[in-house]
Amino acid sequence: MSEATAPTLPATEIEPGLFVRGLQPPLRLRDFRLVAFDMDSTLINIECIDEIAAAAGRKAEVAAITEAAMRGEIADYTESLRRRLALLRGVPEQALEEVYAQRLQLNPGVETFVQACRAAGLKTLLVSGGFTFFSERIHERLGLDFSRANVLQVADGRLTGELVPRPWGTVVDGAEKRRVLLEVAELMGIGPSQAIAVGDGANDLPMMGAAGCAIAFHAKPKVQAQAHIAITAGGMERALAVLQA
């Protein structure tokens, strides 16, 4: 996606709730080699941090910060995450299992789209500002190739409200999402123009801007306005009307 021009191009609604911008469909899915996905509200139906907060009776407070961050109203995503994490201090680790078992579902069309990408020979990457407790399970469930997310710190069976430092840093924010996409592409020996990036929130824009094709899935208006493909109704498989096998 050309970061300089894509946002200024008009969108065309080729089907109800399916918009394209800056490209002429159909494209060949096989012309791409890598697809990178956000997790929360993209691959799955929830924002995990909001649902964990429900266990502490703080969902409304945390969700308000999440929503503002995803709309791009809080410029410093890392600071917004730290503020939300602090509100989770003391939540039992068991609450994570309850969120996964009782509230988390794959979004409609996700399995179909992921399977189509894999069948076309694309490598699959999950890169999330969420948490490895959930991303590792989604990685396995969808048979993805790579994943990166934040690690919640736990002590005595309860969340500390902080993240575990990793060799590459501590927080997967928008800049880290972009860096991971570019790093995986380089390791594969491909250019970023051969990558697809799928997201819904403002912190996905850096990786979407680096990719050759950006897909906004039920995304915030700011994200829809900068995507090649925007799906505002129906499932993720609708992207296959543009990216044909």
pLDDT tens-place string over residues 123-159: 999 999 999 999 999 999 999 999 999 999 999 999 9
Which one-letter amino acid corresponds to residue 10?
A: P
Stronger pLDDT, 77 or 187, i.e. the higher one: 187
Residue 178 backbone phi and psi in degrees, to 5: -65, -45
What are residue 147's DSSP bridge partners?
126
Flag whether 80 is in a domain. no
Give the sheet arrangement for strand 229-231, strand by strand.
12-15, 18-20, 229-231, 213-217, 195-199, 34-37, 123-131, 146-150
Cis peptide before 26 (omega within 30 of 0): yes
Flag whether 126 is in a domain. yes
Distances (CA, A) of 90 to 51, 56, 62: 15, 8, 15
pTM of the model: 0.93
Note down the domain range covering 153: 6-45+106-244
Domain count, the chain: 1
Flag whether 77 is in a domain. no
Q: Does 1 have pLDDT greater than 80?
A: no
Flag whether 64 is in a domain. no
| 189 in Cβ contact with 170 (< 8 Å) | no
Active site residues: 38, 40
Residue 227's CATH number: 3.40.50.1000
Flag whether 123 is in a domain. yes
Flag whether 25 is in a domain. yes
pLDDT score of 41: 97
Which one-letter amino acid corresponds to residue 128?
A: S
